[in-house]
């Protein structure tokens, strides 16, 4: 079904996250990792081996996790808070709002295993709401890397930004999609394929699937532009407006809830600047039981689903 995924190697981005964090920590002693009994699931075992005193484990206590990180930032550190995305963003939402964003503390919130990465463990462990919740916090960049290269770039960017940020680190394996030499800047999208009939705007695990959808559509005579909207906040408004003006139809794709996520952010810009048809591919509700792969297909979060939404938007279904 997803041709690229079957033929090309795929990667668990948590490995690149941890590896890049170690590289940064070697050069900057202000960097600390803060976790909630999540050393293994955040792939931080090597970090702990190399910097035993710079890995703070507060145990299973997410409110404390984020508060302590804000205090460490007060003390001059750059904390990378690494925890399973559903618990980090849900349990500690008010700490993220008050202690990090409103207090303007340079804390990097790293949501691990987001979306439906925990598959059969079910909606308690899925993080389909995190993009919407984090978007609702004023002044908090929401960064959704799509592959290993972007994960590494996001970690470097967040360490240097001097401001709080939320990074959504994929666990479900993804192929590499980022061209060599691609720039990684605040609020900057990457155009991965050109086409004049519509634009697919995707994030994270959906980016490679959007490229596969473009290949399917091409076979059907439809030329799709594909944009990787790495920053859901701040959104690349110019790229969205260009998509609306130049291609006339937009499909969004995200492994996240349709309420308030990437699709909603894009639709707001389209409605305000250049109304055109928009279709949103995402997760509509709590998932049934199934593996990540099964659930992505179940909700149409694959090349076929994106291509179908594109044909509907074009009135060719």
Which residues here bind another protein, judged by CB under 8 A?
A: 32, 53-54, 56, 58-59, 61, 63-64, 66-77, 94-95, 98-99, 102-105
Residue 66 or 159 with smaller CB distance to another protein: 66
Residues 6+ apart with CB under 8 A from 285: none
Other C-beta atoms closer than 10 Å to the C-beta of 219 total 8
Residue 99 or 129 with smaller CB distance to another protein: 99
d(C-alpha 155, C-alpha 144), whole Å: 11
Min dist CB 37 to another protein, Å, is 12
Min dist CB 245 to another protein, Å, is 36
Min dist CB 38 to another protein, Å, is 15
Min dist CB 7 to another protein, Å, is 47
Residue 94 or 246 with smaller CB distance to another protein: 94
Residue 165 or 307 with smaller CB distance to another protein: 165
Residues 6+ apart with CB under 8 A from 227: 189, 190, 191, 192, 199, 200, 201, 202, 236, 239, 243
Min dist CB 70 to another protein, Å, is 5
Min dist CB 77 to another protein, Å, is 6
Min dist CB 97 to another protein, Å, is 8
Residue 67 or 148 with smaller CB distance to another protein: 67
Residue 71 or 90 with smaller CB distance to another protein: 71
37 dihedral zone (left: phi>0; alpha: psi -120 to 50; beta): left
Residue 23 or 57 with smaller CB distance to another protein: 57
Asked if residue 241 lies in contact with residue 265, where contact means CB atoms within 8 angstroms, the answer is: no
CA 68 to each of CA 15, 81, 141, 278: distance values in angstroms, whole numbers, following the listed order: 25, 10, 21, 42
Asked if residue 308 lies in contact with residue 281, where contact means CB atoms within 8 angstroms, the answer is: no
Min dist CB 44 to another protein, Å, is 16
d(C-alpha 78, C-alpha 74), whole Å: 9
Residue 30 or 156 with smaller CB distance to another protein: 30
């Amino acid at each position: 079904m997803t041709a690229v995924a079957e033929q090309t190697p795929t990667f668990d981005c948590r490995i690149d996250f941890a590896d890049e964090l170690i590289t940064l920590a070697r050069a900057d002693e202000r960097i600390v990792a803060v976790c909630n009994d999540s050393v293994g699931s955040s792939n931080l075992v090597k970090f702990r081996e190399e910097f035993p005193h710079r890995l703070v484990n507060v145990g299973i206590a997410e409110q404390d996790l984020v508060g302590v990180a804000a205090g460490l930032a007060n003390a001059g550190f750059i904390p990378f808070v690494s925890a399973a995305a559903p618990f980090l963003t849900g349990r500690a939402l008010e700490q993220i709002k008050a202690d990090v964003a409103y207090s303007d503390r340079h804390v990097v919130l790293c949501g691990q295993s987001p979306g439906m990465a925990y598959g059969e463990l079910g909606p308690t462990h899925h993080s389909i709401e995190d993009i919407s919740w984090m978007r609702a916090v004023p002044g908090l960049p929401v960064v959704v890397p799509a592959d290993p290269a972007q994960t590494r770039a996001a970690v470097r960017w967040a360490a240097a930004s001097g401001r709080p940020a939320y990074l959504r680190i994929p666990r479900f394996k993804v192929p590499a999609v980022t061209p060599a030499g691609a720039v990684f800047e605040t609020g900057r999208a990457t155009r991965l394929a050109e086409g004049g009939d519509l634009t697919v705007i995707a994030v994270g695990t959906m980016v490679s699937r959007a490229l596969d959808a473009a290949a399917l559509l091409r076979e059907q005579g439809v030329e799709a532009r594909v944009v990787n909207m790495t920053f859901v906040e701040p959104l690349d408004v110019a790229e969205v407006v260009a998509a609306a003006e130049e291609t006339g139809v937009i499909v969004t794709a995200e492994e996240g809830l349709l309420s308030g996520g990437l699709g909603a952010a894009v639709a707001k810009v389209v409605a305000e600047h250049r109304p055109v048809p928009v279709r949103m591919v995402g997760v509509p509700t709590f998932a049934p039981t199934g593996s990540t792969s099964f659930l992505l297909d179940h909700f149409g979060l694959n090349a076929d689903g994106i291509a179908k939404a594109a044909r509907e938007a074009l009135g060719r279904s």
